[in-house]
Amino acid sequence: NPLLYSSVMSPTLCAQMVMGSYTAGIMGSLSQVCALLQLHFCGPNVIRHFFCDMPQLLNLSCTDTFFAQVVLLILTMLFCISNALVIIISYGYIALSILKITSAKGRSKAFN
């Protein structure tokens, strides 16, 4: 019930949602770090970028980076698809709630 947000959302639910986001972020980061720890680096370890990110570290590796690239691909797809689904579903519920409004003027106001 997206239009009843203020009555449905409680401090406990809000804290659970925040902890879920933090947990997902930490698990994603830890899995990338564990994949990077399996790699060996040799030669000039100079990164010519503003910040040290996984693709730049994969370019510096002397060993095969296939596993780390697969981990990065899976995590990217998982996070992108899950976030997009949550957003699409919530907007779908909002649109359905608006379409249930009987008056045309009320629907127009709600969509605007």
Q: CA nearest 14: which of 5, 26, 25?
A: 5
Q: What is the pLDDT of residues 55-90, one digit of tens each?
A: 888 888 888 989 999 999 999 999 999 999 999 998
In 3-state terms the chain splits into helix, strand, coil percentages (rounded to 5) of 75, 0, 25
Q: According to the model, what pLDDT value does residue 1 have?
A: 61
- Residue 92 located in a structural domain: yes
Q: Is residue 98 part of a domain?
A: yes
Residue 59 inside a domain? The answer is no
In a domain, 91, yes or no: yes
Q: Which amino acid is residue 99, in one-letter code?
A: L
Number of other residues whose CB lies within 10 A of the CB of residue 35: 19
Q: Give the closest residue to 80 by CA, choosing from 24, 1, 8.
A: 24
Q: What is the pLDDT of residue 98?
A: 85
Domain tally for the chain? 1
Backbone angles phi, psi at 9, to 5 degrees: -75, 120
pTM (2 d.p.): 0.68
* Domain assignment of residue 86, given as a range: 11-39+65-110
